[in-house]
Every structure is written in structure tokens, then in C-alpha cells.
Chain A
Amino acid sequence: MKSPIDNDNFVRENFEKLVKRYPHQRIIICEGEIFTGKDAVKKARQKYPKATPMFLPVPGPEEFNHIL
């Protein structure tokens, strides 16, 4: 049986790639898959009914330099 992919681990391992690919966007992550668009959560819940989707507001590459 396929083990579930932890959203947090996925984000930690792919954070810099996500910042480059989806800067300033909101994405939904579930089981290592990325969903976008207004019905992203619905699609994620339909595909992986037992998993908890993750909402990720992706920062821009400059954001942490200026705000924090």
C-alpha cells in the first residue's frame, strides 16, 4: 500500500522550486500533487478523500529579504 506523502515534508523539500514556479500564488498540495484554481481543494478532496489538503501561499523570491 502506498504510504501517504506528508505535505509539510513535500513543501520543505521543494520550497525553492515552488517559489520559482508559483511566486505569489496560492496553491493546494495533496499527496505530493499540486492543484491550482478556484476548485483546487474540491479536486484534491475528490482525488484523495482520506488526505488533508494543504493551502500554501507561495512567497515571492524577494519576500523574506524585505519583510522579515
Chain B
Amino acid sequence: MKKAIYFPYKSYKDEYYPIIKIQVKGPSGFLETEAYVDSGASISIFLMDFAFYLGIDYKKGKITYVMVGDGSFIPVYLHKLSLKLGNYTFFATVGFSAHLGADFNLLGQKDIFDRLKVIFDKRKKVVIFQPY
């Protein structure tokens, strides 16, 4: 069994959030970023600007529409990219959107939660990813 990957919650203004570091591979190599682990999100959605810095023309991806918190739909362009969590590297679907409406990336379920068991240990302030 592969080793579990531990990420401490990120603190801000005396609160703690399951924000982790993740690397995504583009044409020029890996680029690291942070993502909010969101078990309520069906897919991962990253900021359009991240695609730019990664060197990807995000609009070349397959378009889909995702419902957000206010009930509206936003366009999301899907790409299959190599991700690295700790020392664990795998391909996953990553969506990019110009309409995310927040200054953080979302790490959702598709290709992540079916590959890794995700444990939110709020008491210990740690998110654990255990490869199946």
C-alpha cells in the first residue's frame, strides 16, 4: 500500500481551512499551487490564470457547465493533466474557468476521490490522502 500523504490545514484569521499544495504539469514542467479540498465539488476547477501561467490554452478543452452556489451555471473547460500530490503522481481531469468567482482553486471529486481516500481530520487540522 502506498504511503498516505498528510497536509496540515492552512490557518487564516484564527480559522483553519483544508487548503493543500498541489503540482500540475504543463508544457514547461510542473507548477505548484494551492487548492481548497472541496468534497462537495464534482470536479476540480482551477483559475483561468493558472492555465495561463501553466502554458495551456484552456479554451481548447472540452466545455461543460457547472452549477455554482447561487444556482447559476459557469462554463468550465476540461483538460486531462498530470497532478502531483506529495510523491504521488497521476492523471486527472482539471477544469479551468474564468468565472470561478473566488481567489482559490477547488480540488473536487472526479479522478481524485475515487483514487485516494480523503480524510478531513478537523480536530488534528490535517487532510489525509490515502492511495487505494
- A64 engages B17 (CB within 8 Å): yes
A8 at the binding interface (Cβ < 8 Å): yes
Across-interface contacts of A28 in B (CB, < 8 A): 53
- B30 engages A26 (CB within 8 Å): no
Stretch of B57-65, B87-95, B102-110, B115-123 lying at the A interface: B102-110
Q: How many Å lie between the Cα of A56 and that of B54 in the bound state? A: 12
Q: What is the CB-to-nearest-CB distance from A11 to chain B, in angstroms, rounded to a whole number?
A: 7
- A63 engages B50 (CB within 8 Å): no
- A59 engages B31 (CB within 8 Å): no
Across-interface contacts of A63 in B (CB, < 8 A): 102-103
B71 at the binding interface (Cβ < 8 Å): no
Across-interface contacts of A57 in B (CB, < 8 A): 33-34, 47, 49-50, 103-105
Q: Assuming the A-B contacts A15-B12, A64-B13, A64-B15, are A7 and B103 also in contact, with contact meaning beta carbons closer than 8 angstroms in the complex?
A: no
B3 at the binding interface (Cβ < 8 Å): no
- Of the A-B pairs whose beta carbons lie under 8 Å apart in the complex, a sample of 14, sorted by A's number, is A15-B12, A28-B53, A41-B55, A53-B31, A54-B21, A55-B33, A55-B49, A56-B33, A59-B104, A63-B102, A63-B103, A64-B13, A64-B17, A67-B102
A47 at the binding interface (Cβ < 8 Å): no
Q: Pick from B13, B29, B32, B102: contact of A55, CB below 8 A.
A: B32
Q: How many Å lie between the Cα of A7 and that of B31 in the bound state? A: 11
